[in-house]
């Protein structure tokens, strides 16, 4: 039979917020690193913590209204309550809902990040994440979803078979190729391959498009683009990089601002406030010209 743990949250008595915050994280870490065959009952935790505790497969008893958004979080959950045990049964909490609802409290956002990347989590301790469907990038917590981390491992092992690449933007139309990608492929020389620049996964070569997780993102994470672009082209030296991007062009320019990276831009690498019509015949002609010169 599973081992049962009963954990009651007690508010730290320390005066400094830093000390209290550290104990909040210790509370989550203790639960997160508990073996998956242990049933955990959590009592007296704030309602704002309930989504993350449910994600860790805890049973919820007597949650409290501690923070300004506790009532809102409670209303957001699909609840039923056992008349015998007083347990709150929470339904419809998936990974996306956990990311969104954790956003009301910094310790929950922090703990979710550590669950994904730092703490020693037993398999089965967290609820199953959906597979094979498009997910929404809600905040930075989405960058550490299992499907994203698993793909980055595969991406880091990838070795291009060609030394020239055309970088194009990601697109909302998935799976790829999107209409823009098809238009670029029609004029792409044989000695080039295509890759997309994304704010979630970094640089994704065409060969891995069918392996990449599908997502919809409204977060312009320029630092992510900067870091992942540098990592990709440091790992994989190219003879030529042609960039046909609008939104991330200036970030790619900064990331590859070195003689080591032989980079050409079909459009000026400036900060664009609005999307450029990359499907226009005029801009495609500029791309065709720079590909013929490279």
Q: How far apart are CA 78 and CA 254, in angstroms?
A: 46
By CB atoms closer than 10 A (0-12, 13-18, 19+), residue 39 is middle
Q: Return the residue matching tokens 């419809």.
A: 92
Distances (CA, A) of 164 to 102, 188, 209, 210: 43, 11, 18, 21
For residue 222, the number of C-alpha atoms closer than 13 Å in the C-beta half-sphere is 12
Domains and CATH numbers, the chain: 3-131 (no CATH), 161-293 (3.40.50.10630)
pLDDT tens readout for residues 62-95: 999 999 999 999 998 877 777 667 777 777 678 9
Confirm if 177 and 256 have CB atoms less than 8 A apart: no
Parallel/antiparallel/unpaired status of strands 87-91 and 263-265: unpaired
- pLDDT, residue 86, reads 72
The partner residues of 43 in beta bridges, in order of sequence, read 8, 61
Q: Which residues of the chain have pLDDT under 70?
A: 1, 83-84, 92, 129-133, 219, 294
Distance CA 52, CA 98 (A): 6
| Helices marked H in 119-248 | 146-157, 179-186, 222-235
H helices present in 123-258, as ranges = 146-157, 179-186, 222-235, 249-255
Look at the chain and count its residues.
Answer: 294
Residue 125, pLDDT score = 94
Q: How many CB atoms lie within 10 A of CB 278?
A: 20
pLDDT at site 294? 59
pTM of the model: 0.84
Which pLDDT belongs to residue 287? 95
pLDDT value, residue 133: 63
**The pLDDT value given to residue 140:** 85
């Amino acid at each position: 039979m599973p081992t049962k743990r009963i954990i009651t949250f007690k508010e730290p008595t320390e005066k400094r917020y830093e000390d209290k915050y550290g104990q909040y994280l210790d509370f989550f870490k203790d639960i997160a690193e508990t073996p998956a065959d242990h049933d955990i009952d959590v009592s007296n935790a704030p309602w704002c913590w309930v989504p993350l505790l449910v994600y860790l497969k805890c049973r919820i008893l007597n949650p409290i209204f501690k923070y300004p958004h506790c009532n809102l979080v409670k209303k957001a959950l699909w609840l039923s309550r056992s008349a015998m045990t007083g347990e709150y049964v929470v339904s419809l909490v998936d990974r996306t809902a956990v990311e969104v609802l954790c956003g009301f409290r910094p310790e929950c956002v922090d703990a979710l990040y550590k669950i994904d990347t730092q703490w020693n989590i037993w398999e089965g301790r967290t609820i199953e994440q959906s597979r094979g469907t498009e997910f929404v990038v809600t905040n930075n917590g989405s960058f550490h979803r299992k499907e994203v981390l698993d793909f980055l491992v595969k991406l880091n092992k990838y070795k291009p078979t060609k030394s020239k690449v055309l970088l194009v933007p990601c697109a909302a139309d998935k799976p790829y190729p999107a209409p823009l990608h098809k238009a670029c492929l029609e004029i792409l020389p044989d000695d080039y391959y295509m890759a997309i620049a994304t704010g979630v996964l970094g640089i994704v070569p065409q060969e891995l498009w069918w392996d990449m997780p599908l997502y919809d993102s409204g977060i312009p994470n320029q630092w992510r683009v900067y870091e992942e672009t540098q990592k990709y082209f440091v790992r994989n030296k190219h003879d030529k990089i042609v960039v046909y991007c609008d939104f991330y062009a200036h970030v790619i320019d900064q990331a590859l601002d070195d003689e080591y990276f032989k980079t050409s831009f079909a459009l000026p690498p400036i900060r664009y406030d609005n999307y450029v019509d990359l499907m226009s015949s005029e801009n495609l002609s500029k791309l065709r010209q720079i590909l013929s010169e490279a």
